[in-house]
Amino acid sequence: MNNILKIIISNRTIFLLVLMFVFSIIATIFLGSKFASLANLKAVILGQTSIAIMTIGMMALLISGVFDLSVGSIFALGSVFCGYLIKSVGLPYPIAMILALCGCGLLGAVNAFIITKMHVNALITTLATMGIFKGLAIIIGGAGIMGLPKEFIYFGRTDFLGVPSPIWYFLIILVVFSYLFSNVAYFRKYYFVGGNEKAATLSGISVNHIRFTGYILSGLLAGFGGVLHASRLGASIPLAGSGLELQVIAAAVVGGASLVGGKGTIFGGVLGAMFLALVFNVFVITGVSAYWIPVVNGAILILAVYFHVVFKKE
Amino acid sequence: MLLEAKKISKKFPGVQALKDVDFNLKAGEVHAIIGENGAGKSTLMHILSGIYEHDSGEFYINNKLTKLNSFQKAKKNGISIVFQERSLFPNLSIEENIFGASPPKNKNIFFQIDWTNLSKKAQEYLDQLNMTINKKVLVGELSVARQQMIEIAKAISNDFKILILDEPTASITLQETEVLFELINEFKKEGRSIIYISHRLKEIKKIADRVSVLKDGEYVGTFNSPDVDIDFLVNKMLGRSLENKKFNDISSSEDEIVLSLRNFNGHGFKDINLDLFKGEILTLTGLSGAGRTELAYAIFGYVPALNGQIKIYNKDSKINHPKDAIANGIGYLSENRKELGLFIGMEYRENIESNNLDKFTKNYIINWGKRDKVSNELKDKFDIKIPHIQQLVLNLSGGNQQKVSISKWIYANLNILIVDEPTIGVDVGAKFAIYKILKEITNNGVSVLMISSDINETLNISDRILVMFDGKINGELKSDEANEEKILKMASGL
C-alpha cells in the first residue's frame, strides 16, 4: 500500500490521472448526471482545447528551462491576423490561416532573438512582448473582426466521427509532440538544456538553437489556439487572449513542469490542463461566478509548486 | 612580540587543516607564510581574522592572552585582512566599498551616513595607493586588478596594527605591485606589521623579513629571509621528496601532431604555442589563476579565443562552440563536475546520453535499448558503484560522479580529450582507476591534454609537462627530467 502511494506521488502523470478520477467520482456523487455525461465530457475537453494546445508549447519551453508570458497575446494576434487577412485583405481562408501561423511563429522568433542575442532575461522579454503583441492585436483588430466566412467557421465547428474537429486537431498535436519529445534526438536536447544549461553547452548542444525552436513552437501553437478560437466564434476578438498565460503556465506546472527546467512530459502538461478544466467545469455547473476562475487558477498554481517542494524534500 | 599564536589547531569534517601551528609576528616586520595548496595558510589567516573559530591553541597580542573569536573582535585588536576571494559589492561605488558596512556617520542626525566625510576619507586611501580613479564608479565595472587594489584600500581604511595580505599580487599588474610594496615599506616604518601570503617566492624574497613554512597543516619552521635561498624554501615546502610511482609505458609518438596552437590569445592566457602528439599525455600544470582552464575553454570553444591559430590534424580549424570542437574530435572533461560537467538532477543513463545522443540515434529516432545497454556496459567497465542505471547522479560520491563524467567522454570516442583536474576530490582508489583509464586510451591512440594542480599526478602519468604562469607557458619538461622543484619554480614565474 505504501509502495503504491509512493509510485502515485512520484509519477506526476499517474498522480494526475488518479486525482482526476477521484475528483470525478466526488463530482458525480454531488452533481450526478449534470457532471457525469458524455456531453459534459465533450464540452470539458472542447472548451479546453486551445489552452491544452498552448500548454504543449509552454511545456516545451519549461522543459528547456524558460517560459513565455506572451502566449495569451500571441493567441490574440493569431486570431486577429487570420481575421484581418480574410476580411480586409480578402485572402482565401487556408492561406490566411497559414500566414497567420507563420506570423505567430515569427513572434516567437522575436522573443527568442531578444532573449538569446540581446541577452534580455526571459521574464522581462515576454512580459514586454505580452504588452506589445496585445497592443498590436487591438490596433489591427479594433473592437473585433466580425462576420468571418462560413468555410472558415466550418474548420472549427465541424464534427468527425461524432467528435468536434478541435478535439481532433488537439489530439493530433498531442500525439505528434509527445512522440517528438520522447523519442526524437533533437527534442531530447530540451531536457539537457533545462537540466543544466552550461553542461549542455559543454556537451556540444547549442542552447540558442533550442531557445529559437522552443519559442517558435510556442508561438505557432499559441497562434493555432487563436486561429481555432476565431474559427469557432466566427470572429477575431483581440481581448480574447488576456490572462491565458496564467492558465497555460498553471496547467504546465500542475502537469509536472518545473520552473528550473529539465522536468515534465508533454502528456503531463495536457493532463494538467484537463484537470483545471474539470475544476472549472464544476464551477460552471454549480453556478459559481466565472470571476472566481483566475483566483482558483492562481491558488492551484501555488499549491502545485508547493507540493513539488514538499515531495522533493521527502 | 606583537602577536603570538601557540599550538593552533583546526579540524574540518574529515580534514585536520591545522595541527599545533606556532606563529609569531614582530612589530614592524613583513612575515611571509608559504606552503602548497591545502597547507593551511588560508585557514590560519581566517582564524587570525576571527572568521573561523579554532579548536585549540592561544593567541597573545602584546603578550596578553586575547580571544579572536569574531571578525569584529579581530578588527578591534587591529587585525585587518585582504581576502583572496574578493569581498566587494560590485553594485556599489568605490568609496562605499572602501568603508563596507561601517561608513562614517553624521554626528548630529542619527543613522545618517556622512557622505562628505566618506568621500574625503576614501580619497585619502586611494591617494595612498597612488590610484587616480573616479571614486563614484561602481566596483563591478573595474578590472580584476583594480578591484584587488580597492580590496587593499578597504583593508587599510581600518586603523590596523596587523595587515594580512592573502595572495595580494595574484591579479594585479607589475606597476601596482610596486606601489603596494612601497606602501608596505611605509607601514613597516610606522611600526605596523604585515602577514604576507604568496606563491611567488621571488616576491617573498624581495619583501619579507621572515618566512614561515606550513606543510599539510603543520608548522615546518621560520627562517630569516636574507639567510635562505629559494631552492631551500621550495624544499621546505615540499618536505621529503615523494617517491614517484610512474606509469612508465610511454606510448606517444612524436611524429604525428594532432593539435597545435600558434600565438593563441584569449581571456586569461596569451601567446600560447603548443603541440599535442598522438597518444601522449601532455600535462598543463601551474598555480590556480595561471590561465590553464581558460586555455582549455578556448580550445574547446566554450569561451572562444580572441585570436591565434588552431590546427587539428594539420588542418586550420575554427572553433566557436563546443559542438565545433566535438565535430573536430575534441572532448573536454570539466574540473567542475557539478556545475559544468554533469546533469546532477538527472539519471546516470541520461548523463551518458547527454553528449552521445548521435551515437544512440538512427534516422533522428533514439534507440533507448542501445543507450541502456551502453550505460550498463560503461557502469561495469569503469566500476561505477550504482544499484541501477536510473540512479540520479546527485546522490553519487565524488569519485563515482567523476567516473560518470569520464565514461561519457570515453564513450564519445574522440581523438583528443582535454581532462581538467581529472582526479579532483576523488579518493585514492578512484584516482588510480582514472589513471589506468587515461593510460589505456592513450595506448589506443587518443591524445590527452591534462590540466592538473596535483604535482604527483603530474609527475606520474605525464609524457610531457608544460608549466603555466600568469597566462603564459613558462617552460616545458620531459617526464624523465621533471621533478617537483623544477615545476614549482616554473609555476612561480622563475
* Mean predicted confidence (pLDDT) in A162-180: 94
Q: Is B3-238's fold the same as B257-491's?
A: yes
User: Predicted ipTM?
Assistant: 0.84
Q: Tell me the fold of B3-238.
A: Rossmann fold (3.40.50)
Smallest Cα distance from A199 to chain B, Å? 4
Shortest CB distance from A198 goes to which of B321, B339, B361? B339
Q: Render pLDDT for B116-175 as a digit per residue (tens, 0 to 9).
A: 888 898 998 888 888 888 888 888 887 777 888 888 888 888 888 999 998 887 667 667
pLDDT exceeds 90 at position A99: yes
Structural domain boundaries in chain B: 3-238, 257-491
User: Could you tell me which of A11, A100, A111, A102 has the C-alpha nearest to residue A58?
Assistant: A111
Q: Can you give the pLDDT at residue A289?
A: 87
Class of the CATH domain delimited by B257-491? alpha beta
The pLDDT of residue B211 is: 94
Which pLDDT score is estimated for A224?
96
Domain spans in chain A, listed from the N-terminal domain onward: 50-242+258-264
CB atoms within 10 A of CB A121: 11
Interchain contact, A185 vs B334, CB within 8 Å: no
> Is B355 part of the contact surface with chain A (CB cutoff 8 Å)?
yes
Q: pLDDT per residue over B442-484, tens digit each?
A: 988 899 999 988 777 888 889 999 999 888 998 898 888 888 8
Residues of chain B scoring pLDDT < 70: 13-15, 37-38, 84-85, 170-171, 173-174, 239-254, 288, 425-429
The reported pLDDT for the residue numbered A128 is 96
Question: Could you say which of B354, B360, B361 has the minimum Cβ distance to residue A192?
Answer: B354
Q: What is the structure's pLDDT at B244? A: 40
CB contact under 8 A, B365 and A184: yes
**Chain B within 8 Å of A117 (Cβ-Cβ)?**
no
Is pLDDT above 70 for A225?
yes
Q: Is B134 exposed, middle or buried (0-12, 13-18, 19+ CB in 10 A)?
A: exposed
Contact A204 B322 (CB under 8 A): yes
Q: Choose the closest CB to B354 out of A184, A186, A203.
A: A203
- Higher local confidence (pLDDT), A111 or B128: A111
Q: Which residues contact B278 (CB under 8 A, 6 or more apart)?
A: B252, B253, B256, B257, B258, B445, B447
- A129 vs B493, higher pLDDT: A129
Contacts of B327 in chain A (CB under 8 A): 204
pLDDT band at A312 (very low <50, low <70, confident <90, very high): low
Q: Which residues of A touch B366 (CB under 8 A)?
A: 183-185, 188
B341 at A interface, C-beta within 8 A: yes
The percent of residues in chain A predicted with pLDDT above 90, rounded, is 66
Closest-approach residue (CA) in chain A for B345: A195
DSSP B303: S
DSSP readout, chain A?
-HHHHHHHHH-HHHHHHHHHHHHHHHHHHHHGGGTSSHHHHHHHHHHHHHHHHHHHHHHHHHHTT---TTHHHHHHHHHHHHHHHHHTS---HHHHHHHHHHHHHHHHHHHHHHHHTS---HHHHHHHHHHHHHHHHHHHHTT-B----HHHHHHHH-EETTEEHHHHHHHHHHHHHHHHHHHBHHHHHHHHHHH-HHHHHHTT--HHHHHHHHHHHHHHHHHHHHHHHHHHHTSB-GGGGTTHHHHHHHHHHHTT--TTSS---HHHHHHHHHHHHHHHHHHHHHT--TTHHHHHHHHHHHHHHHHHHHHHH-
